[in-house]
Amino acid sequence: MKRVTLIITAVLTVLMLTACSSNKVVYESDTESQAGNKAWTVLIYMCGGDDESVNGDYSKKLDEIMNVNYSDNINVIVQTGGSSKWHTKNIYSDYCQRFKAGKNKLYLEDQSMAANMGDYNTLANFISWGTSKYKANHYMLILSGAGGGLMNGMAYDELNGNDSLNLEEISYGISAAGVNFDMLSFDSSLMGSLEIAAEMSMCADYMTAPQDVIGNDEWNYEYVLQYLSDNPSTDSQGIGEAVCDGYYAKCEEKGTDKDAAMSCVALDNMSTLNQAFDGMAGDMLTATDSLLNYVNLSKAISGVQLYGGATVDEGFSNSVDLGDMAVKTSEFVGNTSDVLINTLNETVLYRVCGERKANSTGLALYYPLWENNDELQEYMEISNSVKYKEFLRKICTRCNVEDTSNTEDFNSSWAWNTYNQDMQTMEYKTILDGNSYELNILGNMDMFKSVDINVYKADKKSGNYTYIGKYSDLDGDWDAGIFKDDFNGKMLRLCGKNISVNLVGKYDGYEIYSAPIILNGKRSNVRIMHDTEKDSYKIIGAWGGLDSTNGRAYTNLKKIGFFDKITPILTVYDAEHNSNDNITGSWTLKMFGGVKKANISDGAYIFEYELTDIYGLKRRGTAVKANAGGGNIRFE
């Protein structure tokens, strides 16, 4: 049985030292360096979870922390927990342990039986203990653990059913300790949002957080803590800039910088920013009084920078960039968007972003790309913007949620009422001539965002059909409502095989797609970038998406190597349109090449027009049969 005590005997100390294969070991309490106030005390609340027990990711963070040449002016205190196994010797899963960091050392300062890291009481207790014992002129709190964003929180405790700290618990845990932090930093995915910053403004002066998914080795502990040790007189903004710069440097080192997005926010300006946002939300709400106005607004929002998951297979983070939304919708909401942008620029003091996050402005915003009634109801309790909540209630037509501040129903939206009236008079007609598949629509085409063709590979023996993606390069006349397939016999294929590709987002000059796969035996999603100017495709990595049970985001994009085994996951439908996953044999990337458009294999297919409207609702045209041979398509 593992046994560690606060009073460590000389014999135990010798055993600990000799048991370690490296010079980085746990020592007894560093009492000599505790006397007197320091310039800074940094508290690190580290929940290792299964990322630690499986991969040792949080032990690598501890290695970084121990690589720093510390000055006498700072304290760095770490609490570990939440993992069934720690890869650092003398850190045990059955204890909640607290350490003071030193060069190549961790000094054991306190321990107790394991506590739930997903419980606000554990956080509050650590903060109270740390700030009482390690007095300083300034305090910084780093919350480190797997993250799920605004709606799913962070710090998933593997020992307690992956219980996590939600936004309310984080706020209450800090407030209960009675400490206002100079800097609060999240080493946790998807935590850089307007709503989180607003809540944290009650317990900290500044905040750094990533807007998107962050890798387990991207928060640069060595860089930040060395900067603070070398510059103990620095202010909170200086530390915030160091956090962002260190993170971006790590991303560049790993080759993940193109998707980087992190910011430093002045929380004392959040009240002003919330007011500015509520003003813009009021104009967005007004747009729902007219179908034409809402059509324009909805189409503008569809091009806003997205964060996290954005497909059924990945899961939906429902997170978009706040500033980019203001920019994209400025034509339709008036000067309130300018007020928001100016206020946001005053609030976000520093930010870093990569090439594929060029539209990132420093804070994200909840926006339901996929409507979930329970989640939207929870958001009604979180958001401070009455007008934005009313706006969401009016556009989320498949949800029925209540807002205690407003009882009006979305059906009062004139845009929704007009939409329903126009849809009732809409007419569709399918025309086939053997070589083409045409859809004619009689009605208000403004209500649709996109028209695509779903393509299925048919199995004549079983009657089943397998979805292999959408075809969007149509010959379309939107004004006349006439669309022709213009199909050239090519679909996007991975390593020469069919994949179920779904659009993540369309941006200036490029598009991002995602397709579900099995990567080396584990379910994942391959992300693909389409350079629309060059009309070329490339694999940018694989991502596990969001955990379907608790919403945590798996670590960031991983490169796919030449010998990684890939298996596509294809959706198969039977005659009654019931679906299930179809997983075929695997292959390695090196053997078959990358991703590109290629001729579909010969055989029977089904083509089906799909129309997506401004409310995200989908309508399908009459499905038709087709046969492919030699790259040519013949419709029946």
pLDDT for 619 beyond 60: yes
Q: How many other CB atoms are there within 10 angstroms of residue 237's CB atom? A: 15
Q: Which residue has the tokens 């729902």?
A: 288
Three-state DSSP class for residue 537: strand
Dmax over CA atoms of the chain, in Å, equals: 90
- The model's confidence at residue 473, banded by pLDDT at 50, 70 and 90, is confident
Domain match, 414 and 430 both? no
pLDDT for 20 beyond 50: no
pLDDT value of residue 180: 95
pLDDT value of residue 593: 64
Number of domains in the chain: 3
* Residues 484, 436 contacting (CB under 8 angstroms): yes
Domain match, 384 and 441 both? no
Listing from the earlier edge strand, what are the strands of the sheet with 163-165?
147-149, 153-157, 163-165
Residue 305 vs residue 418, higher pLDDT: 305
- Weakest mean pLDDT among 147-151, 296-300, 507-511, 627-631: 627-631
Closest CA to 553 of 137, 194, 156: 156
Q: From residue 296, how far is each of 171, 272, 592 by CA, in Å?
A: 38, 28, 43
- The residue out of 399, 421, 443 marking a domain boundary is 421
- Weakest mean pLDDT among 3-12, 45-54, 92-101, 326-335: 3-12
- The residue out of 398, 421, 444 marking a domain boundary is 421
1 within some domain:
no
> What secondary structure, in 3-state letters, does 538-585 show?
EEEEEECCECCCCCCECCCCECCCCCCEEEEEEEEECCCCCEEEEECC
Closest CA to 360 of 272, 257, 281: 257
Domain of residue 74, CATH code: 3.40.50.11970
- The residue out of 233, 259, 285 marking a domain boundary is 259
610 within some domain:
yes
pLDDT for 585 beyond 80: no
Strands, E, within 404-481: which ranges?
A: 427-432, 437-442, 448-458, 465-471, 475-477
For the chain, give the percent of residues with pLDDT over 90: 70
Angle at 397 between CA 391 and CA 398, to 5 degrees: 135
- Weakest mean pLDDT among 11-25, 202-216, 447-461: 11-25
391 within some domain:
yes
Distance CA 411, CA 500 (A): 35
> What secondary structure, in 3-state letters, does 266-307 show?
EHHHHHHHHHHHHHHHHHHHHHCCCHHHHHHHHHHHCCCCEE
Over range 309-315, report the average pLDDT: 95
Three-state DSSP class for residue 264: strand
Strands, E, within 495-535: which ranges?
A: 497-498, 502-507, 510-519, 522-531
Distance CA 283, CA 330 (A): 10
Domain match, 404 and 510 both? no
Task: Name the phi and psi angles at 300, rounded to 5.
Answer: -65, -40
Residues in the chain: 636
β-bridge mates for residue 526, sequence order = 515, 542
pLDDT value of residue 558: 87
DSSP state letter for 131: H
413 within some domain:
yes
- Weakest mean pLDDT among 12-26, 151-165, 243-257, 576-590: 12-26
Quick one: how far is CA 176 from the chain centroid?
29
Q: SS3 breakdown of the chain: % helix, strand, coil, rounded to 5?
A: 30, 35, 35
Tokens of 502: 């779904």
- The model's confidence at residue 6, banded by pLDDT at 50, 70 and 90, is very low
Closest CA to 487 of 569, 428, 432: 432
pLDDT value of residue 369: 94
- The model's confidence at residue 162, banded by pLDDT at 50, 70 and 90, is very high
- The model's confidence at residue 606, banded by pLDDT at 50, 70 and 90, is very high
5 within some domain:
no
Quick one: how far is CA 615 from the chain centroid?
23
pLDDT for 549 beyond 90: yes
4 within some domain:
no
Structural Rg of the chain based on CA atoms: 27
pLDDT for 592 beyond 90: no
Domain match, 416 and 435 both? no
180 within some domain:
yes
Three-state DSSP class for residue 380: helix
Q: How many other CB atoms are there within 10 angstroms of residue 591's CB atom? A: 11
Q: Between 270-287 and 386-395, two packed helices, what is the crossing angle to 10 degrees? A: 30
Over range 86-112, report the average pLDDT: 95
Residue 450 vs residue 416, higher pLDDT: 450
Domain match, 368 and 433 both? no
Three-state DSSP class for residue 331: helix
pLDDT winner (highest mean) among 300-304, 360-364, 370-374, 412-416: 360-364
Over range 610-625, report the average pLDDT: 90
Distance CA 269, CA 266 (A): 6
- Which structural domain, as residue segments, surrounds residue 277? 272-421
Q: Which residue type, as a one-letter code, is found at position 23?
A: N
Domain match, 322 and 440 both? no
For the chain, give the percent of residues with pLDDT over 70: 92
Domain match, 481 and 617 both? yes
pLDDT for 405 beyond 80: no
Over range 472-495, report the average pLDDT: 89
* Residues 151, 379 contacting (CB under 8 angstroms): yes
Strands, E, within 114-203: which ranges?
A: 136-144, 147-149, 153-157, 163-165, 181-187
pTM of the model: 0.92
- The model's confidence at residue 24, banded by pLDDT at 50, 70 and 90, is very low
pLDDT value of residue 581: 73
- The model's confidence at residue 33, banded by pLDDT at 50, 70 and 90, is low
pLDDT value of residue 494: 86
pLDDT value of residue 631: 73
β-bridge mates for residue 316, sequence order = 310
Distance CA 475, CA 493 (A): 22
- The model's confidence at residue 626, banded by pLDDT at 50, 70 and 90, is very high
pLDDT value of residue 7: 30
Residues 6+ apart with CB under 8 A from 27: 13, 16, 102, 105, 106, 107, 108
- The model's confidence at residue 140, banded by pLDDT at 50, 70 and 90, is very high
pLDDT for 21 beyond 70: no
Domain match, 124 and 174 both? yes
Distance CA 366, CA 195 (A): 8
Three-state DSSP class for residue 332: helix
Torsion of CA 261, 356, 368, 378, to 10 degrees: -20
Tokens of 623: 């499905």
Q: Which residue has the tokens 């990132």?
A: 360
pLDDT for 10 beyond 50: no
Q: From residue 37, how far is each of 75, 124, 176, 422, 587 by CA, in Å?
A: 10, 21, 23, 70, 60
Domain match, 250 and 292 both? no
Over range 133-161, report the average pLDDT: 97
Over range 347-355, report the average pLDDT: 97
Residue 483 vs residue 411, higher pLDDT: 483
Over range 465-475, report the average pLDDT: 89
Residue 112 vs residue 434, higher pLDDT: 112
Domain match, 382 and 509 both? no
* Residues 44, 79 contacting (CB under 8 angstroms): yes
Chain-wide mean pLDDT for the chain? 90
Domain match, 195 and 327 both? no
Q: Which residue has the tokens 């957080």?
A: 209
Query: H-type helices in 425-501, by residue range?
Result: none
205 within some domain:
yes
Count CA within 13 A, CB hemisphere, residue 202.
15
Domain match, 285 and 247 both? no
